[in-house]
Structure 1
Amino acid sequence: MERTESLPAHTRAPGEATVDPGSVLLPGHDVPLGRFTTVRRLLPHRRRRMIGAWCFVDHFGPDDVAERPGMEVPPHPHTGLQTVTWLLDGEIVHRDSLGNVQPIRPGQLNVMTSGHGIAHSERSPATRPPLMHGVQLWVALPDPARAAAAGFAHHAELPAWRDGDLDVTLLAGEFGGERSPAVTHTPLVGAQLTARGATPARLPLRRDFEYGLLAMSGSAEVGDVPLEPGALLHLGVGRESLTLTATPGSRLLLLGGTPFEEPLVMWWNFVGRSHEEIVAAREEWTAGTARFGTVVDDAAAPLPAPALPTTRLKARTRHGDVLR
């Protein structure tokens, strides 16, 4: 999935609420993705750039694609990250420059590790379900994983269990004594929580993790804070548990991880550490070098890289502070 705009200025937005010390309710903003899809971008945000190593959260749909093309994102590059794709409804076909052609459907997980460089496309198939709804996430890769070879994995089965009035599906990392088969490079967790009833649920958390909670459908309350689709509740470190109440049928996404301390430069589809790294990646993508390869089974023209800003790109901490 393509990142198309620069980070907004570090200012407080209307409707942005502080929940308690260390927690912030972050509203998303709409961003066009390709010609036919609009996503709600929740991370990076002016006030919180990351949740653990999770550095990018897009929530899309539910969209009626019965008479529309659905997702149409042509070949584009990535460096320094993993893409994690999770669907609630619909179907998308992933194609990449390693030769993978992989449909993904609800309950399945695609994890693409860019390493030093990869290219991929994401498209709705010609014959598809009428609704499209899901999330795509980026995970920042630490040294030395970000310089390693690219890879891709499709997980058709994931750990799933019932905990009181919640159904839990573990996408990534460890939670509730279970471990996801998805390969990760820093301590983190990603889990879908589906409410069966309205009984309050208490989730055990790790004190060394920071967490975020996204309502993908339905609604929830964390303490006395309402959470609706379109906002992300960012929770600070030091919590041992989280109590939430959700309307029956609500589907929530819990993200967490140890704070990622390596400063990042995020620009377009690249995650690096310096202005020079980003410039080099852009030049190699524009030149069509072997670093990114060619996406198989996709004849569309690759997305051109946008022009670089007139000022140097600067590394930022996970809090958004610029390193000089």
Structure 2
Amino acid sequence: MSNVEAAPREIVCASGQTAPQLVAPRDVPLGGPRAMTVRRTLPRRARSMIGAWCFLDHFGPDRVAATGGMAVPGHPHTGLQTVSWLFTGEIEHRDTTGAHALVRPGELNLMTAGSGIAHSEFSTPGTDVLHGVQLWVALPEADRGTEPAFTHHAPPLVDAGGAGLRVLLGSLGGETSPVATFSPLLGAELTVPAGTTLRLPAERGFEHGVLVDTGAATVEGTAAARGELVLTPPGRTSLEITAGGEGARLMLLGGEPLGERIVMWWNFIGSGHDEIAAFREQWERERVAGTGGRFGDFPGAWTSTLPAPALPNARLTPRG
């Protein structure tokens, strides 16, 4: 997914907190007169990461006939991975590794940008309702130059104390995803029946975030409604989650704090202003040429690409 904001802010990616924190989403339109709106909980100025998870968009359920669905032309990424996870609907993905795939409910599609990739995402003509999340993972500095790649995995649905569990990345409840990550991570979907309390094992060194997709839930004593995110700091060996009276579907994210100084601007992650500016210049040059270079050869099916917004007047400054 692209960050299509016309004037994206510099995001200083850092972590650190001492108690559970509730984050309310902000609405971000994806562009156009019938813009599909996403609810964004990461990044925020007060909190930008959960481990290496650095971007969290939650959307739907939306009637595609009313919103226009997802229509994001070719756009670039560097230094990160994108995770697409749907509850309802279907999205067509194309990228400059040559991958052409359909994103379907319950199936993980993970794209590694590494040194540079470009991709497009369009909801399919047969999609009536679109509902899901799209997430980014920051790559450690040592791995940001890795070759771009695309991975698909359909995790099994298993029982976890009466809840339904699918493990996208990492390990939980005796399930381990075969998908490799560049830093210790957890990504899982939980469907919790009404009134059920789960006590899930937690890696002591992980930060965790629980996003409420449907219903409501209480996470470590903090109540959250649909679209809200509860963040917990490292140090816990378990997480207590109680579903509300209608049950809840949740996304559980976790990871070790990245512990590195990075800048995230538009669709790029880099180490500083000059690197981000170079990525932007390369993208603009390649999108005009329509081929080759850092971001790879464009798919023949593409008819348009997204222009990069202007850089802010001040230099981008890494912290963390």
TM-score (norm 1): 0.90
- Counterparts of 2:283 and 2:11, CA distance in 1: 25
Amino acid at match of 1:206: E
Q: Is the 8 A contact 2:11 2:264 kept in 1?
A: no
**TM-aligned CA deviation for residue 66 of structure 1:** 4.0
SS of match in other structure, 1:276: helix
**TM-aligned CA deviation for residue 137 of structure 1:** 0.5
1:89-127 Cα offsets, whole Å, 9 max, x none, are 111111101111101110101000001000000001122
SS of match in other structure, 1:218: strand
Q: Is the 8 A contact 1:172 1:188 kept in 2?
A: yes
Q: Is the 8 A contact 1:190 1:253 kept in 2?
A: yes
Alignment correspondent of 1:131: 129
Is 2:48 the partner of 1:49? Answer: yes
Amino acid at match of 1:291: R
Q: Is the 8 A contact 1:158 1:171 kept in 2?
A: yes
Alignment correspondent of 2:296: 293
Q: Is the 8 A contact 1:170 1:190 kept in 2?
A: yes
- Counterparts of 2:312 and 2:220, CA distance in 1: 42
**TM-aligned CA deviation for residue 21 of structure 1:** 3.9
Q: Which structure 2 segments of 5+ residues have no match?
A: 287-291
Amino acid at match of 2:313: T
Q: Is the 8 A contact 2:193 2:247 kept in 1?
A: yes
Change (3 A) 1:297 1:126: farther
- Counterparts of 1:300 and 1:226, CA distance in 2: 45
- Counterparts of 1:166 and 1:292, CA distance in 2: 41
Alignment correspondent of 2:210: 213
Alignment correspondent of 1:113: 112
- Counterparts of 1:192 and 1:224, CA distance in 2: 20
Q: Which runs of 4+ in 1 moved over 6 A?
A: none
Q: Which structure 1 segments of 5+ residues have no match?
A: 10-19, 318-324
Amino acid at match of 1:2: S
**TM-aligned CA deviation for residue 78 of structure 1:** 0.1
Alignment correspondent of 2:92: 93
Is 2:270 the partner of 1:282? Answer: no
SS of match in other structure, 2:274: helix
**TM-aligned CA deviation for residue 269 of structure 1:** 0.2
Alignment correspondent of 1:320: none
Among candidates 149, 152, 166, match of residue 151 of structure 1: 149
1:228-265 Cα offsets, whole Å, 9 max, x none, are 12221110110111111113442101100011111111
TM-score (norm 2): 0.91
Among candidates 238, 247, 254, match of residue 256 of structure 1: 254
**TM-aligned CA deviation for residue 205 of structure 1:** 0.6
- Counterparts of 2:302 and 2:241, CA distance in 1: 47
Alignment map for 1:221-260 (pairs within 5 Å): 221-247=218-244, 248-260=246-258
- Counterparts of 1:221 and 1:165, CA distance in 2: 17
Task: State, as a whole percentage, how many aligned pairs show the same letter.
Answer: 50
**TM-aligned CA deviation for residue 177 of structure 1:** 2.6
**TM-aligned CA deviation for residue 2 of structure 1:** 1.2
- Counterparts of 1:34 and 1:154, CA distance in 2: 28
- Counterparts of 1:144 and 1:224, CA distance in 2: 38
Is 2:5 the partner of 1:2? Answer: no
Alignment correspondent of 1:122: 121
Give me the CA root mean square deviation: 1.8
* Higher alpha-carbon deviation: 282-291 or 159-168: 159-168
Amino acid at match of 1:302: T
**TM-aligned CA deviation for residue 183 of structure 1:** 1.9
Among candidates 258, 266, 269, match of residue 267 of structure 2: 269
Amino acid at match of 1:261: G
